[in-house]
Amino acid sequence: MIARLTTVYTAIFAAVLAGISFYAYWLIGGQYRGLLAPALDTPEGQNGYTTAMGHVLVTIVAADVPVLIVVGLLAFVLARASLRPLFEAREREQQFAADAAHELRSPLATIATVAQAARLKTDPETREHLDTIARTALDASALIGDLLTLAREPRPGLLQREPVDLAHVVTTCAREFDARATAANIELRVRAGGAIVNGDERRLRELTRNLLENALRHASHTIVLECGGDATAAYLRVRDDGDGIAPALRGQLFQRFAGDDANGHGLGLSIAHWIANAHDGELELEKGASVPGASFVAKLPRLS
Amino acid sequence: MRILIIEDNLPIANAVRTMLEARKFAVDVATDGIAGLDHLLRETYDAAVVDVVLPGKTGFEIVREARAEDVHTPVLMLTARDAVEDRVRGLDSGADDYLIKPFVEEELIARVNALLRRGDKPISAVATAGKLTVDTGSREARYDGLALELGTTEFRLLEFLARNANIAFSRAQLLARVWDYDFEGSSNIVDVYVSQLRRKLRLAGGRDVIETVWGVGYKLSA
């Protein structure tokens, strides 16, 4: 950020300086030619003119270079000074978000835990109410966690990375989802090809789970979950055979709360996108006119 | 089965007690770090559920000090935060597992039961194989006295191989035993980790510590 601003400032100034210098050179050249006009036709005159203009050029460059260096330094200092409050404000904001999330989650943790303990010794009707309380508190806490994640820039420093085989991630998530898919009368087809990435396994499972949740809400009969890779990149794809994504929605698909359904809170795809980005990868909606439904593919750099 | 809860948030402590007692566990509760460590050192428990943020002593400190006193009661850490550093620090301090608050009751019970199963077959905290020592208490691995900087999975793999030195394991066996996956199909994740371990062992002067057994897989020779 600071480097970019410094470069831009310096480049603009360098362009202006070059313009002025060229103009000065041209102006001085004109003056000399006017003064030397009678002698300019002789070889000596011509020679003198060339030498003089050479000196002029050296002088101009000698004056420009230090100015440019000073301006570059000044630009750097200025950029840093003007950006620092912004960085600090951003940091304070993040800290505030983290603190607020923590403060909100502790009472939710108490609510969820106490409600779950209370349901162990009560009649069935009250148990149902307590279940609702516990589930709502757990959902709210998960939502706060998601918002906190999205408030941060996706970067690898926020991950706990180790070599992970996407095939493991895929098979584990498939096993988790299989019962739910069967209950919804949807076939979950899995093709797990080995592809090792330097990733945070817990986060990669979250990405896969979010894509599967989304697919489960939209699929008519089948969901295909697959992963694999070539020499440089690994991919993880979740495809459903539902109605697909309306063209109007495609542009803002990964934005927060862009979800079109009442079930999800609309952060699942944003989180999946965030996780792919944090792994220096990307998450895309594949454009395939021939297949119905939506196909999401996460492309991640493969471990070399 | 006797379980110790160290948690300063009284409603949560009591709720966890109710959950565990409903499963017929005997439960003690300590509400600050100092009393908690005291209980852990004096009494015999089959497992402990320990909060991270506590008055007096943090959960990390409790576990580290208990391990230093040679108390290897399996510990489940409860953490309110989902920070990466916390998870790593928790496991580094010698905790066996962690659970993020708020949790689902079944998850708590499942984790506690897993810890108790592990506690059933006590294993010495330090595995030694030739010049290699792997200390699960302090989570330190050394070759010829030199400390090895290992990630969580690298550590688990090296510990497993050291405990079962001179036995050859196939990749599938290692996947099942170290990675906890019954994974169908092939994966070269084991090879990736073995080559990382070999590189780190070589830096400490260890050559051919992990051998390739043709047609089988790998073994650690001692």
What pLDDT was estimated at residue A262? 44
B124-183 per-position pLDDT tens digit: 678 888 899 988 767 789 998 898 988 888 998 999 999 899 999 988 888 888 876 665
* Number of residues assigned to chain A: 304
* Number of residues assigned to chain B: 222
Least Cα distance to B135 among B47, B70, B221 occurs for: B70
Report CB contact under 8 Å: A121, B181: no
DSSP H/E element including B218: strand B217-220
Contact with chain A for residue B87, Cβ under 8 A: yes
Helix (H, G, I), strand (E, B) or coil at B56: coil
What tokens were used for A23? Answer: 């103009």
For residue B9, which phi and psi values (nearest 5 degrees)?
-80, 105
- Going by pLDDT thresholds of 50, 70 and 90, the confidence category of residue A258 is low
Give the residue, B89 or B44, on which the prediction is more confident: B44
B window 177-216, beta carbon within 8 A of A? 179, 181, 183-189, 192-193, 196
Give the residue, A277 or B139, on which the prediction is more confident: A277
Interface probe for A, chosen from B10, B14, B97, B105 (most Cβ of A below 10 Å), is B105
Contacts of A53 (CB under 8 A, 6+ apart): A25, A28, A29, A32
What pLDDT was estimated at residue A176? 87
Alpha carbon distance B137, B120 (integer Å): 17
Contact with chain A for residue B155, Cβ under 8 A: no
What pLDDT was estimated at residue A149? 84
Alpha carbon distance A143, A127 (integer Å): 24
- Going by pLDDT thresholds of 50, 70 and 90, the confidence category of residue A35 is confident
- Going by pLDDT thresholds of 50, 70 and 90, the confidence category of residue A291 is low
Report CB contact under 8 Å: A168, B181: yes
Q: Across the A/B interface, how many CB contacts are shorter than 8 Å? A: 94
Q: Which residue of B has its CA nearest to A114?
A: B15
Report CB contact under 8 Å: A109, B88: no
Give the residue, A288 or B71, on which the prediction is more confident: B71
Alpha carbon distance B202, A210 (integer Å): 41
* Residues of chain B contacting residue A118, judged by C-beta atoms under 8 Å apart: 15, 18
For residue A282, which phi and psi values (nearest 5 degrees)?
-145, 160
Report CB contact under 8 Å: A105, B80: yes
B143-159 per-position pLDDT tens digit: 988 989 888 889 989 99
CB B13 within 8 A of CB B31: yes
Least Cα distance to B120 among B180, B74, B78, B163 occurs for: B74
Q: How far is A145 from chain B (nearest CA, A)?
A: 8
Q: Which of A113, A120, A168 sits opposite B22 (nearest CB)?
A: A120
B48-76 per-position pLDDT tens digit: 999 988 999 999 899 989 988 888 889 99
What pLDDT was estimated at residue A298? 96
Cβ neighbours of A204 (radius 10 Å): 26
pLDDT > 90? residue A107 = yes
Fold assignment, A158-301: Heat Shock Protein 90 (3.30.565)
Q: How far is B7 from chain A (nearest CA, A)?
A: 12
Q: Which residue of A has its CA nearest to B193?
A: A163
CB B209 within 8 A of CB B221: yes
Cβ neighbours of A1 (radius 10 Å): 10
pLDDT > 90? residue A15 = yes
Q: Which residue of A has its CA nearest to B88?
A: A160
Overall average pLDDT of the A195-221 stretch: 92
Q: Which of A105, A110, A168 sits opposite B11 (nearest CB)?
A: A110
What tokens were used for B148? Answer: 């090895």
Report CB contact under 8 Å: A121, B102: no
A160-194 per-position pLDDT tens digit: 888 998 988 998 899 889 989 999 999 999 998 88
pLDDT > 70 fraction of chain A, expressed in percent and rounded: 96
What pLDDT was estimated at residue B70? 84
Alpha carbon distance B125, B123 (integer Å): 6
* Sheet strands (E) in chain A: 162-165, 187-192, 196-199, 222-229, 233-240, 282-285, 295-301
Overall average pLDDT of the A99-104 stretch: 87
Alpha carbon distance A172, A162 (integer Å): 17
* Domain B126-220, CATH class in plain words: mainly alpha
Rounded mean pLDDT of chain B? Answer: 86
Residue A51's identity, in one-letter code, is T
Using an 8 Å CB-CB cutoff, list residues of chain A that contact chain B.
102, 105-106, 108-114, 116-118, 120-121, 137-138, 141, 145, 158-160, 162-165, 167-168, 171-172, 192-194, 196, 200, 303
Alpha carbon distance A211, A264 (integer Å): 12
Q: Which of B19, B81, B153 sits opposite A116 (nearest CB)?
A: B19
pLDDT > 90 fraction of chain A, expressed in percent and rounded: 46
Q: Give the full edge-to-edge strand order of the sheet including B26-30.
A: B26-30, B2-6, B47-51, B75-79, B97-100
A69-92 per-position pLDDT tens digit: 999 999 899 888 988 999 899 889
pLDDT > 90 fraction of chain B, expressed in percent and rounded: 45
Report CB contact under 8 Å: B187, A141: no
A37 exposure class (CB count in 10 Å sphere: 0-12, 13-18, 19+): exposed
B15-27 per-position pLDDT tens digit: 999 999 999 999 9
Contact with chain A for residue B105, Cβ under 8 A: yes
CA angle A61, A63, A67 (to 5 degrees): 110
* Residues of chain A contacting residue B184, judged by C-beta atoms under 8 Å apart: 171, 192
Contact with chain A for residue B109, Cβ under 8 A: no
A124-142 per-position pLDDT tens digit: 999 999 999 999 999 899 8
What pLDDT was estimated at residue A260? 54
pLDDT > 80? residue A288 = no
Overall average pLDDT of the B3-25 stretch: 95
CB B118 within 8 A of CB B95: no
Domain positions in chain B: 2-120, 126-220
Q: At what angle do helices A124-150 and A43-118 cross, to 10 degrees?
A: 170
pLDDT > 80? residue B113 = yes
CATH superfamily of B2-120: Response regulator (3.40.50.2300)
Overall average pLDDT of the A216-230 stretch: 92
